[in-house]
Each structure stands twice: as structure tokens, then as C-alpha cells.
Amino acid sequence: MLSQLKRIDVSRYSIYVILLVVVVAASLLSENFLSSDNIFNVLRQVAVITILAYGAMTLIIGGMIDLSAGAVMAFSGVVSVMVYKSTSNMLIAVLAAVLVGVACNLVSAFLVASLRTPAFIVTLGMMLIARGAVLELTQGQNVLQLGDFVLIGQGNLGWLPIPVLILIVVTLVIWYLMNQTRYGRSVYAVGGNEEAARAAGIPVERVKYQAFLVNGVLVGIAGVIFMSRVNAGLPNAGVGYELQAITAPIIGGTSFSGGVGTVFGTLAGALIVGVLGNIMNLIGIGSYVQQIVMGAIIVVAVAYDVFSKRGKAKTTILKSDAKGETVPPSGGATAAPPGGARTAS
Amino acid sequence: MKSLTRKIIGIGAAAAVAFSLAGCAVTTGNPTGGDSTDREAKDEYRVAYIARAQADSFAAWLANEMKSEAEKYDDITLEVFDGQADDEIENRMIENAIANRFDAVIIQANNADAQLPYIQQAIDAGIVTITTNPRVEGLTGGNSVDADPYKQGAVVAESALEAIPENAKVVVLNGPAGNFHSTARRDAWQKEFFDKRTDVEIVAEDIANWNKDEALTLMEDWSLANPQIDAIISMNDNMAAGALEAVKGKSAFDGILAYGVDGTPEAVLLIKDGTMTATSLQNARELAELNLKAVHDLLTGAETEVNTDIGNPLITVDNAQEYIDLYKEAGLITE
């Protein structure tokens, strides 16, 4: 029995342990925390960021990044609101949001995958383009009187809030894509070692397009939920959301160097941030201190995660840089070998 | 060693001579300014309007009204610049306006103290300079067309003195830390309401950065932690609307009072609907009309100095329709 317990790799579950500690601490600090109202409250609040975080996670695992998520979310959400106001058709409105998200991301994908421009720069540019476009479209004014559009963000299906239902469905779909499909394995391989993946016959450019496509769909869905939740089309919405979206997967064990990360780790990362924000509001901690705590938690969580995995990277395959020379991977995380083996957090 | 000492002494002496030749006058900004007294009549005047942030819905409305109003003047060409709610960018915009020799510059300061020396440079360069929304105090010369944030907060706070019940519990939503408008409005609430109504308890107060979504999240949490909240006191309408969204449909918060500032289209609709209690209007159209009239009068010599204020009308359910009509006319409410 003891020997079996010893075989459990505790470090692999470190992020969930941290989440559990945060939840237990929160429930001790406030009697309201574990009420069903508050649990749904937290889940509603984290839905948008978590959906964006899955997109960010996909790109980071694939060795890319998206700095435009907040601005594209605002653009797609506002377009969706406008389409709904003129058609009164929810399906068309959601499709419009997804279309805008996908279009922006495919432009980024073309520049990143086909023209080999760094994703950081491309998506930084896309952030400005999307923000400018939505401000021009609305002339900086909020779009009001949304009618039944608010149902997606504020409605319930039975006892389950619709944003939470969407979050559950998206989580399962992304988990399936990343773990059970060739696409998912290819994303890990490309992010782990692009040259090796190419040598192994993986269509690297196509995988990058697909990763941006998935991100675009998620950003579009997030835009609809966001605008519906606040009952307005806000052109200046989502400022800084791209960084919050990146924070969740990083806390959840996704490696900035690519090739490493899990869907449930990202979910745990988003929940840690959401629960911390919630409990600090419940017990009346001001936003200045909240920022200090959030910053400290991010640093501690990532440091602990890296520390707990130290020494387990002995079988690391040497990464290849752009010139074909071998370099050791950084941060103690294992680089994925070509073919798709991956490290779970 | 001796040679090094000589060199140091030589450099020091040269620096001293250079300073004395310059009259020891150290100045800031573009040194190519003219004098306001030598202004000539022109067929066309170039006016720069430096907006605080065009992503801010009120500032965007004001910028649009400025452009519309400028079209009524044949001799004025207005160029709008976006300060992006960033002091450094706004200051750079003012410097550019001076360097590009605009005839006049209208400045909507992001932070009065941060922009003050740059606005003074524009005045010293002989450019007709107007500060608006808010007036920048402490300048030598210059003109202003103001919507005073203290008065905007005060008119709403005074209306709440009677309306908020005895021993009420309230929550307060503030704008970004250090923001001039938020600070002045909060100051007005303190002096005109909280200092006079010591029975009222603030159960939660935080910054929601003017944002509807941040106010929504805060109020979702606060409403769980505090079963009794009688009023939402917000430094702008956007945050008040977000907080109201959080308690919509919750019977425990039926009849909650909500106060904002700005008189946005959304707020007047909520007030008409009976969901929100009161706000005060910053009328961008009135500000634009007075600014363009002032700049035209100053450029053509009809006036030598203009310092004027627009009103801060209180909007309640009694007069909300009047403002809905105003917004419909401006195209900001469509139905």
C-alpha cells in the first residue's frame, strides 16, 4: 500500500493541491464562500477568462502567443450584439462573433505560419487593429438595449447558469482536441521542437493555422458571453484580458517554452485566480492589496511548479535551435519529443 | 595629473561661460514660440483638439460633437488627437501641437497636474489655449470651458441626502486610482453626503476603473457578503449600471438606489425605467458648442479671455425623457 502511494507522482498534481488549499482557506475565511450561490457566482465570473485561457494555452503549447485576445473579444462581441440587434437571431449573432474571431486569428496565422513573423509582434499589431476597428465601428459608444441577447450571459438552464454550461462544453471539447486527436498531438510536437516535428512529417504551418483557428472560435464565444453578461456592447471591453488569459495556463503548468500544458491545469489556474478574487471581495480586501496577492500567488505557484518538477527532467531530449544546433531546454520542464509525447502538470 | 586638473578646470570654465551667455535661463519645451499679441487675422485657423481618450465613451462623444460643431465654422479646421488616457501621450500631443504651429489648441486634460507645464508651454508659445473638462488651475493666461467634476458629484450627492434611508448600508465604486475626475467626484460625495449623513455605513468600496464588467463582478461578490445594501454610489454611470446588472432579479435588492455621474444614454434609460435613481449630466454637445465659440472668438479677437462653465443638471425619473430625446437627436439612442 505504502509503496503504491510512493509511486503517485505528487508534483504532477501540485496545481490541484494549490487549488484545494485556496478553496479550503477561502471557506474558512468566509461562510458565504461555499454557498451554492457563490460557487455558481465564481464559475460565471471565470467563464470568459477560462475560455480565452484555453485559446492562449493552445497557442502557448504550440510555441506561439496571442496578445490580441482582449481586443478581438471586444470586436467580436460588439459585432455579435449589433448583428443580434438587427436580426434578432441568436444563432446568426453567435456565428458573427465566431466569424470575426476566426477572421482576425487567420490573419495572424497567415503572418505567423506562412510569413514566419513572430507571433508576439503579429498579435500585438492585431490587438491595435481590432481595438481600432471596434472603436471605429461604434464611434467609441456603448451599444445598448440588447433584449434577449442577455440570456447567454445571464440565463440559467434549470439550475445551471448558461455561461457555466458553455464553459463545461468548451472544456470537454478542448480536452478532446488536445488529448485524443492528431491535431492535439501535433500542437504539442510543434511547440516542443518545431524542427523535429517538421522532420517527423508534421505539417507545422497547418498545425499553426489550426491552433489560431481554435483560438479564434474561443475568442468569439468569449465575446458573446462577455457582452451578454454586462448587457451592453462595450467597445473598450477586455483591456488586459489577454494577459489574464495567459496567466491561467501559466499558473496551471503550461510552459512558455512550448510543448507542455494541460487543459485541466489551465482550468485549475483560472479557478485559483477566480477564487482568490472572489474571496478577497467577500472579505473586503481592496484592489491595491488584491493586486499584490495575485502577483505573489502567480510567482509562488509557478516557482513551486517548476521546483516540484526539478530533477524529473533527466531524460530530456535536447532541443534544436533554428540553426540546427542542440541546446538544452530551460526551466527544468521536459521538452516534448517529436511524435507528441508530453508532460502533464 | 597636472594636465588632467587643467583640463577639468578648463571644462568647468567653459561651462560657466556658456551658462552666463545663456543668461542662466533654463526653459522647457519648444523654444520657437511667438507672442499672443502679434496674432494676425487669417482666412482659416487650424485648431487642435486633444481628447483625453477616444476609447472612453464620454470623451468619444465629446470628440464627435467637437467635430460636428467645427463644421459650422467656415474659418476653422479642427484636428482631433487621442491622448489614450495616458499622461505621457497627452503631453506629447500638446508638444506636437506647439511644434506644428496650430493657431489654437483645446485640451481635455487626462491629469491636470501632469499636463500643466505642457499647457503652459502652449500658452507661452502664443497659441490660443483652452482647457476643458476639466479646467486646469494654476496656469498663467489661457482660457477654459469647464464641466466641474466636483459639482457633478455634488449635485447627485445632495439629491441623495433625503432619498437614502436612515442607517443605510451603501457600496461605493470608484474610477481609476489617482484619476482627477474620480477623486473630485468622490470628494464631493464625502463633503456633501457622507460628512452630513454619519448614520450611513459604507459596507464595501473599491475601484472598478470606470468599467461595467469590473463593477458587475464586485457587486456580485458584495451582494453575497452583505445581505443588506440600500444604495450603490458610483463615480460614473457605467459602473452603476454594471452593479445594477449584478443584483437584477434578486428580490433581496428590489428597490436598491443607484447613483452615477455622466448622464450616459444607458443611465437615462435606466432612470426612466426606474432601475437607477439619479445622475448628473456632462453635456458633451454644450461643451463642444461653448468650446468652438470660445476658440473662434479668441482667434478673431472678439474676446481676449474666456472662462465659462456648462451646467450640471440633475437627471431623475422626472426629467429623464428630456435627455432620452437629446440622445435620440444625437443618434446615441436609436429606439
Nearest CA in chain A to B171: A284
pLDDT (0 to 100) of residue A320? 41
Whether A135 and B54 lie within 8 Å, measured CB to CB: yes
ipTM, 2 dp? 0.79
Model confidence pLDDT, tens digit, residues A295-318: 887 788 677 767 766 655 544 444
Model confidence pLDDT, tens digit, residues B297-317: 999 999 999 999 888 899 999
> Which comes out higher in pLDDT, residue A322 or B103?
B103
pLDDT (0 to 100) of residue A141? 86
> Which comes out higher in pLDDT, residue B334 or B251?
B251
Counting residues of chain A whose pLDDT is more than 90, the rounded percentage is 68
Residue among B82, B173, B221 with most chain A CBs within 10 A, to mutate: B221
Q: How far is B269 from chain A (nearest CA, A)?
A: 9
CATH topology of domain B150-280: Rossmann fold (3.40.50)
Residue B8's pLDDT band (boundaries 50, 70, 90)? low
Contact (Cβ atoms closer than 8 angstroms) between residue A174 and residue A217: no
Tell me, what CATH number does A191's domain have? 1.10.3470
DSSP percent split of chain A into helix, strand, coil, nearest 5: 70, 5, 25
Cα angle A286-A292-A295, degrees, rounded to a multiple of 5: 135
Cα angle A125-A128-A133, degrees, rounded to a multiple of 5: 125
DSSP 8-class letter at A148: G
Residue A342's pLDDT band (boundaries 50, 70, 90)? very low
Residue B23's pLDDT band (boundaries 50, 70, 90)? very low
* A144 belongs to a structural domain: yes
CA B247 to chain centre: 29
Q: Is the pLDDT of residue A61 over 70?
A: yes
Whether A229 and B216 lie within 8 Å, measured CB to CB: yes
Half-sphere exposure of A345 (CA within 13 A, CB side): 33
Q: Which of A32, A234, A281 sits opposite B218 (nearest CB)?
A: A281
Select, from the ranges A14-18, A67-71, B27-31, the one with the highest average predicted confidence (pLDDT). A67-71
Mean pLDDT rounded to a whole number for chain A: 86
Model confidence pLDDT, tens digit, residues A260-276: 999 999 999 999 999 99
Q: Is the pLDDT of residue A251 over 60?
A: yes
* A5 belongs to a structural domain: no
Nearest CA in chain A to B331: A141
pLDDT (0 to 100) of residue A165? 97
Whether A288 and B212 lie within 8 Å, measured CB to CB: no
Q: Is the pLDDT of residue A173 over 50?
A: yes
* A3 belongs to a structural domain: no
Nearest CA in chain B to A239: B211
Residue type, A33: F
Q: Is the pLDDT of residue A328 over 60?
A: no
User: CB of B266 within 8 Å of any CB in chain A?
Assistant: yes
Domain that holds residue A262: 10-306+318-327
Tell me which H or E stretch contains B207.
strand B201-207
Contact (Cβ atoms closer than 8 angstroms) between residue A334 and residue A315: yes
Counting residues of chain A whose pLDDT is more than 70, the rounded percentage is 85
The number of folded domains in chain A is: 1
Of B188, B178, B97, B125, the closest CA to residue B151 belongs to B188
Tell me which H or E stretch contains A326.
strand A326-327
Handedness of CA B86, B91, B97, B99 (dihedral sign): negative
Model confidence pLDDT, tens digit, residues A3-13: 555 555 666 78
Model confidence pLDDT, tens digit, residues A182-217: 999 999 999 999 999 999 999 999 999 999 999 999
CB contact residues (below 8 A), chain B span 139-198, against chain A: 177
Task: Write out chain B residues lying below 8 Å of A32, CB-based.
Answer: 224-225
CATH number of B42-147+284-304: 3.40.50.2300
pLDDT (0 to 100) of residue B303? 93
Would you call A68 helix, strand, or coil by DSSP?
A: coil
Task: Write out chain B residues lying below 8 Å of A44, CB-based.
Answer: 220
Question: Stretch B133-156: mean pLDDT, rounded?
Answer: 90
* A4 belongs to a structural domain: no
Residue type, B96: N
Query: Where in chain B are the domains?
Result: 42-147+284-304, 150-280
Task: Write out chain A residues lying below 8 Å of B217, CB-based.
Answer: 45, 277, 281
Q: How far is B248 from chain A (nearest CA, A)?
A: 10
Residue B146's pLDDT band (boundaries 50, 70, 90)? confident
Residue among A287, A291, A292 with most chain B CBs within 10 A, to mutate: A287
Model confidence pLDDT, tens digit, residues B169-213: 999 999 988 777 889 999 999 999 999 999 999 999 999 988 999
Nearest CA in chain B to A141: B57
Same fold, B42-147+284-304 and B150-280: yes
